Amino acid sequence: MAVTPDTAADLVSQIFDLQRAVRCVAAASIRGQETGVALQGVLRFVGEGETRATRLAERLGVSAPVLSRHIAELEEQGYVNRRQDPDDGRAQLVALTREGADKLRRIEEQRTTALRDYLREWSQEDAEDTARTLRKLAESLKHSVRAKAAGPATTNE
């Protein structure tokens, strides 16, 4: 059964409200820190494992020059390092340093603590249901974006 236009419109509104709330929470949590929200996002993705800078830019949805500035700043702070990709000398691989991994762990612990505090009146079941629904929504959106980027499917009839 398809989602009605009214429900889709309500979801769009709720998603924008959630984005604003998350930005406000993130902004409040980084006051006084040397790594802002954008740099923390880069750290999180680099923390998933060494990757090419170009792939990282795609995942973050930023241009190569923007990512290059972020990586340079994180490198200056000692949180990431870059090296030439042995498979393609033109490309760079980016990875967390030990200090970067420690910083990422502290950031994630702080965020987890803050979220637990914000959700103190929620039940465990509510939190699990919300996480499951958000995962499903994110996967549907990612799938749709990938499908559009790939272009229309062709069939050989």
pLDDT tens-digit profile of 27-65? 776 665 666 778 888 999 999 999 998 889 888 888 989
Supply the pTM of this predicted model.
0.74
| Residue 19: inside a domain | no
For residue 8, pLDDT over 90 is answered with: yes
Q: Which residues contact 104 (CB under 8 A, 6 or more apart)?
A: 43, 44, 47, 79, 96
| Confidence tier at 153 by pLDDT (50, 70, 90) | very low
CATH number of the domain that 47 lies in? 1.10.10.10
Residues with Cβ within 8 Å of residue 26, at least 6 apart in sequence: 37, 40
Q: Does any domain span residue 63? A: yes
Separation between Cα atoms, residue 22 and residue 30, nearest integer Å: 12
Residue 135 lies in a domain: no
In a domain, 126, yes or no: no
Question: What pLDDT was estimated at residue 71?
Answer: 94
pLDDT at position 24 is 82
Would 44 be classed as within a structural domain? yes
Whether residue 88 is contained in a domain is answered as: yes
> What is the share, in percent, of the chain residues with pLDDT greater than 70?
87
Q: How many domains does the chain have?
A: 1
User: Is residue 13 scored above 80 in pLDDT?
Assistant: yes
| Residue 88 pLDDT greater than 50, yes or no | yes
